[in-house]
Structure formats: structure tokens, C-alpha cells
Amino acid sequence: MGVSARALATIAALTSVVVLAAGCSNDDEVKPKWTGADSSAGGPSASASAELPKAAFAAPADGANNVSTATELALQGAPGSNAAVTLTDGSGAQVAGALRADGTAWIPGSQLKYGTQYTATVTSAGDTAGKKITFTTMAKPGKTVNVSTAITDNKVYGVGMPIVVRFGSSVPQDMRAAVEQRLIVTSNPPQVGTWYWFNGGEVHYRPKEYWQSGTKINVRLAVGGLQLTKNGWGTRDVTSTFSIGDKIVMTTDDKTHQMTVEQNGQVIKTMPVSLGKAKTPSSSGNMVVMDKNQSELFVGTDPSDPYRETVYWTQRMTSGGEYIHSAPWSVGDQGKRNVSHGCTNVSETNAKYLYNLTKIGDVVIVKNTTRKLAWGNGWTDWDKSWTDYVKGSALPPPADTAAPSTSDSAPASASAPASAPAA
């Protein structure tokens, strides 16, 4: 994404947010009219046309070779919506695409073909004849880097769901801004958001506030043919579409040993819990449900405190192995004292109730334990304030408007790898 336009408007690309289309009208507005020299209606005069901005290509250069298949057509000046771009391949087939919101570049709607000559034309109100360039894309690179996302296509997620993107090789810090510009998120309705680099191999996207229920989100990781490392290029573009369901928030307070469950802002259930004992305290912080299973085998790794137990109705909250799950053995302790290895123990009835209610990405908040949630121990995106979160982006922070952008700063610590569950 050559120039970031973190504005989400109807279709906005975040942090890599680009509004792909714009245009509105009002029938009540007075329409401007052109008047000819004889006072009759007509087209603009020659002098008027000469004053209109003229669009031209800034890059790639005419006749350029070895152009990335992830290229954007940069425009000189700022012709904005005044410019119209067409792109065709050697066979004359037209390539779909759209201008960035600020009109500084035109983005092909999909990865271009390797080793192919393209012809691009840009016209504008000030130059209807237009400017034309031809360029040839690079041959398929010898080394490619896979890019993946934790998002499953057409799935419904919780309001806290981050967009998690992983790279097969670490992206160097000085290349992250260019990569981030090609990570395009569009949402309806529009919501401000940004990316955060946990390390060179993993970057997340979250909105400023929780996603609004009912939001439709499209993700395009436009990295096919984009240089991601010193000698590696993206294998292909990755796309995904998902939506956001009801707002579910589970809040556990260690002072009361109770969990309060809210749906769309209303308390629908309160239940007793038992958290981690003194030796293995639960983490306090803002988490989301990362994974769910009807049953899992939990095996302890501490020789002094071994356990091996098949556990039911599990919901993972951290990479380190903290879960919400059924614990019939601790029902007598739930609501009174902490006896777990760090997990949130609930009764079998309550565990099944929660399992059937929740989605991956639903919010889990734990308060007043002796251990603070470690940053990167799971999808901890909501455990930083927005002011701090935007510092994890490689691009300037977004404006706090209905149009998301990118953020600026060095990456923070890496996400912790998954480890054994704590019963």
C-alpha cells in the first residue's frame, strides 16, 4: 500500500486501510453548470480545462522491467477522484482495481501475473487524452514466504477478535512499513483500527474499540510477489471474510470468586469459580477466547505437582495454558477459594453453558489476582490502551475518525508459544 490511507469509509483499508471507492450526491444540491461563450450550456472552456489538475503516473516508470506483482500505480500530485485509471495485460484483459482514498495511488484488485507486460492509462478532467505507460512484472521468485491468518472464512467471531497474521520468515524491521501498507482491512460499518507487530513473524490488527456486533469484515493480505525479507517474496495474496456476533464479555473477580457473564451489555448469568492457587496463580488482564474444544487431555509438566486429566468444555485464554473448563472435582471450592493450576474452574453445568454461548474472540477479563497477564501470552491485544497499541504499528497512527489508519513505533515482545494447559 504505497501511501497509507487509514481511512475506513464504506470500504476502508486499515493500517493498511484504503477506501476503495467514494462518491455521493444530493438531489437537493444546486448542480454546477458550464456556460459557453454564447451563454448556452456546454462543456468547460479551454482555459477552464487547463486549470484542472492533470493526472500522470509517478511509478512504475514507463518501460520498467522486473516490477513487483504487488505493485501499485502511484500518481503524481493529488488528482484524487479526478483521475481514472485502467490497467490491461498483454492480451488486452482489463485488471480490476481502485484508487486509494487520497487519490495518490491505484491498487490492482488482485496480484498481477509474473513475467507479464501491462499497459496503464490515467485520464483526468484536465487531460482527457490521458497518460500511458507500459511495464513488465518480475519473473516468479526462487524463494517465497508463506503468509497465513488465524481467521476462518465466513465464520462468526466475538467482538474482541484480533486479525492475527503470521509470516513464514521474519520480516525485518526496516521492511515492515511497506508490508503493513499491503495488509488491507475493510469493515462495514467503518471502524478505526491499526496493526501491531508482536515480532517479525506475527502482526495483529484490532479496532480502537471492540468490534460492533453485526460488523462485516474483509481482509486482503496483498503480499503475493511483495518482498517480505531480504531474499524472500510473498507466495500469494490471502483473503478472508468474517463477521462479528453478539457482544459476550466474561468478567471474573478473584476477590469474590465469581464470574459475571454479559450479553450485549446485559448481565445474563453469574457463577462461582475457583482460580489458580498461590503456587500457580491465574493471570489478571484482558484476554479473548482463542480456542474451544469439547474435551482435551491436560498433562502437568511440574514433577512436584503432576496431573493427567481429560477435561471437558474447554476454552483457551492464553498461550501459556490458562483455560475456562469444567472441574467437577473443585465444585466445593468454587466461589470460596482457589485450587486450580491457573485455569478458571467452573461446574460441569456452567462450563457447558458457557461453551454453548461463546465464540472464539469473545472477551475474557480477569481481575484482582496476584499475577499480571504477560504481553504476548495469547491474543493480548486488548491488554494495552489504544494510545499504547498504536505504537506497535510501523506506520503513522490513524486519525480518530470513521476511517482507520496505521500506527508508528518499534515492535514489542513476541507472542508466547502455546504450552501445556493448567487444570
CATH classification at residue 363: 2.40.440.10
Our count of domains for the chain comes to 2
Domain that holds residue 133: 51-137
Please report the sign of the dihedral spanned by the C-alpha atoms of residue 331, residue 334, residue 339, residue 343.
positive
Whether residue 115 lies inside any domain: the answer is: yes
Whether residue 191 lies inside any domain: the answer is: no
Considering the candidates 24, 257, 325, 341, report the single residue annotated as catalytic: 325
What is the mean predicted confidence (pLDDT) over 40-44? Answer: 41
Q: Is 103 left (phi over 0), alpha (psi -120 to 50) or beta?
A: left
Whether residue 313 lies inside any domain: the answer is: yes
**DSSP code per residue over 108-176:** ESSPPPTT-EEEEEEEETTEEEEEEEEEEEPPPPS-EE-EEESPPTT-EE-TT--EEEEESSPPPGGGH
Residue 328: is the preceding peptide bond cis (ω within 30°)? Answer: no
- 372 and 252 inside one domain: yes
The per-residue pLDDT for range 85-135, each reduced to its tens digit, is 999 999 999 999 998 877 889 999 999 999 999 999 999 887 888 899 999
How many C-beta atoms surround the C-beta of residue 235 within 10 A?
19
The per-residue pLDDT for range 391-406, each reduced to its tens digit, is 999 999 988 743 333 3
Nearest to 51 by CA among 125, 106, 156: 125
Chain position carrying cell 504481553:
375
Whether residue 215 lies inside any domain: the answer is: no
**pLDDT for the residue numbered 423:** 66
Q: Which neighbouring-strand residues pair with 207?
A: 193
Whether residue 57 lies inside any domain: the answer is: yes
Q: Establish whether 24 is a catalytic residue.
A: no
**pLDDT for the residue numbered 80:** 61
Report the half-sphere exposure of 7 (CA within 13 A, side-chain side): 13
Q: What is the pTM of this model?
A: 0.82
Considering the candidates 24, 257, 341, 343, report the single residue annotated as catalytic: 343
Q: Establish whether 343 is a catalytic residue.
A: yes
Whether residue 149 lies inside any domain: the answer is: no
The per-residue pLDDT for range 195-217, each reduced to its tens digit, is 999 999 999 999 999 999 999 99
List Cα–Cα distances, 414 to 179, 279, 317, 371, 421, in angstroms. Answer: 18, 25, 17, 19, 20
Whether residue 153 lies inside any domain: the answer is: no
Task: Name the least confident of 222-226, 392-396, 418-422.
Answer: 418-422
